Structure 1
Amino acid sequence: MAQNIPKNAPSVQTFVKVKEIKDGVVILQDNSMKSVCACSSVNFDLLSVPEQEAIINRFQEFLNSLDFSIQIIVASRHFEIDSYLNQIREMEKRQTNELLRVQTSEYINFVESFVEFANIMTKSFYVVVTFKIAESKEEELDFMGKLKNLIASRKPTETFKDENFAQYKMQLDQRVNLIIQGLQGLGIKAVPLNDEQLTELFYEFYNIGK
């Protein structure tokens, strides 16, 4: 039975702080701009102790070299194997050799039971880079100007016009390039997500299990 939704119930937009996705940039309700990079991984446990220590030191140097904050996200999801098993089932139907058909069926049963028992998860890694309009303004201020901005930080965030978007995006892209280059030194490949990939990512985050 459907539940009655109160008239004053908050909309989805109240909880989803995304205002717009444009040219690979996520614009939030407070007008801050974010770029999301999908990152590869390094099997740290398979490295020797000297290699592990070298990566830790390089990662520390990488973080210390940044003059802006980043956000590292690790997304865990149940391993999706249905499409793979459906392909195997189609192969089973077309199999003319009875022995191979039986072996294929047993393989399908084994994989299904193994995945259910082991509860296999996949992990995706992302780095989020942020740029705010206030940061661009502060570059032109002296110490007292920055102090006044800090005291007035509770005021609503300044909005930007469409004609200024390219200017702010260029500064965001500079930060993204620094992240990509820094991660390359760790053996990690980082790729910025485009509009379609960002939309799909947010859909998955807000529709877990679907």
Structure 2
Amino acid sequence: MNTTQQHLLISDVKDDLVLLKNGGGVLILQVSAVNFGLLSEREQMGIIFTFAQMLNSLSFSIQIFVYSERLNISSYLTLLDKAQKAQTNPLLSRMIGNYRQFIRVTIKENDVLDKKFYLVIPLYSLELGLTASKESLEQKIKTVLLPRRDQIIRQLNRVGLRATQLDNQKLIELFYNIYNGYFVETIPAAGETEKIEVSLKKPQPIPQSKPNTVPSPQAQETSPLVSQPSRTHPFVVEELEE
């Protein structure tokens, strides 16, 4: 029986590296972000110039990967709940509760995304040549990729960015989230758990509009005000709560 892993290029995750089926390897760095819009024009030009120098100094290829995922604030809500219970001042306790409710409503009504930035350093099998065994291949991959990693980290430090290499556990979690991107956000309330799901209503017929006619003056005086039925789109996204 075929599995999904047979269709992927990944052979194994070992020694904080991704080994490929074609004999190559990949090293992934997670890079911190900088709020570019808050910098002055001189600082922005300095970052652009330094980053361009870094790209021009590289003798190997890199890939920049931006991953967006829905922000899970379950632990933060739990922290606020504990802070509210530990607060002895009634006014501060009520303010913490109102703030917690505001965060819950904001997350339910809006998609709050968390962006993570990765820099991928690939190593192709053509660069490695022929190897005698799998162990020698893995050692050769580390010998080539680790100096490239150190060079990238030094260059990013000049820009003011901090880069860290992903270990085995973080690599597995990253690829799992990429290939299993859909999930139901769980927001625990006090003593209960809520799930936010999106579904489609069944198509509803759109009421036919009658031709415009000018009513008589007598009808205008005697007929009461009746609200017109609103037109309903056949597909409406609604939010279900359990």
TM-score, with length taken from structure 2: 0.68
- Displacement of 1:96 in angstroms is 4.7
The answer to whether the Cα contact below 8 Å between 2:33 and 2:117 also exists between their aligned partners in 1 is yes
Q: Give deviations 1:107-160, integer Å, cap 9, x for gaps.
A: 2111112233442211111001011232134xxxxxxxxxxxxxxxxxxx9885
8 A contact 2:24–2:141 mirrored in 1? no
Pick the aligned partner of 1:113 from 105, 125, 132. Answer: 105
Q: CA deviation at 1:67?
A: 1.4
Return the structure number with greater helix share: 1
Residue 87 of structure 1: aligned partner? 79
Q: How far off is 1:189 after superposition?
A: 0.9
| Residue 21 (structure 1) aligned with residue 24 (structure 2) | no
Q: Considering only CA atoms, is the larger Rg found in Structure 1 or Structure 2? A: 2
- Name 1:132's counterpart in structure 2: 124
Three-state SS of the structure 2 residue aligned to 1:119 is coil
Matched, 1:194 2:167: yes
- Determine which of 54, 60, 72 is the counterpart of 1:62: 54
Q: Give per-residue Cα distances to partners, 1:92-115, cap 9 Å, x unaligned.
A: 344454444332321211111223
Shift of 1:195: 1.0
CA contact (8 A) 2:31 2:164 kept: yes
> Structure 2 residue aligned with 1:182, among 143, 147, 155?
155
Q: Provide the TM-score with structure 1 as the length reference.
A: 0.78
Query: Contact conserved, 1:92 with 1:101, CA < 8 A, in 2?
Result: yes
1: distance between equivalents of 2:158 and 2:150?
13
- Aligned to 1:173, the other structure's residue is in SS state helix
Code of the residue aligned with 1:108 in structure 2: it is R
Q: Which has the higher contact order (CA 8 A, sep 6+)?
A: 1
Residue 138 of structure 2 is aligned to residue 165 of structure 1? yes
Q: Which residue of 1 aligns with 2:218?
A: none
Q: Which deviates more from structure 2 when the two are superposed, residues 113-122 or residues 46-55?
A: 113-122
Tell me the C-alpha RMSD between the 2 structures. Answer: 2.2
The AA in structure 2 aligned to 1:58 is T
1:91 deviates by 3.3
Per-residue CA deviations over 1:41-86 (Å, capped at 9, x if unaligned) read 1111111112111211111111111111111011111121111112
Divergent runs of 4+, >6 A: none
Give the share of equivalent positions with the same residue, in percent. Answer: 34
Q: 1:148 maps to which residue?
A: none
Gaps of 5+ in 2: 184-242
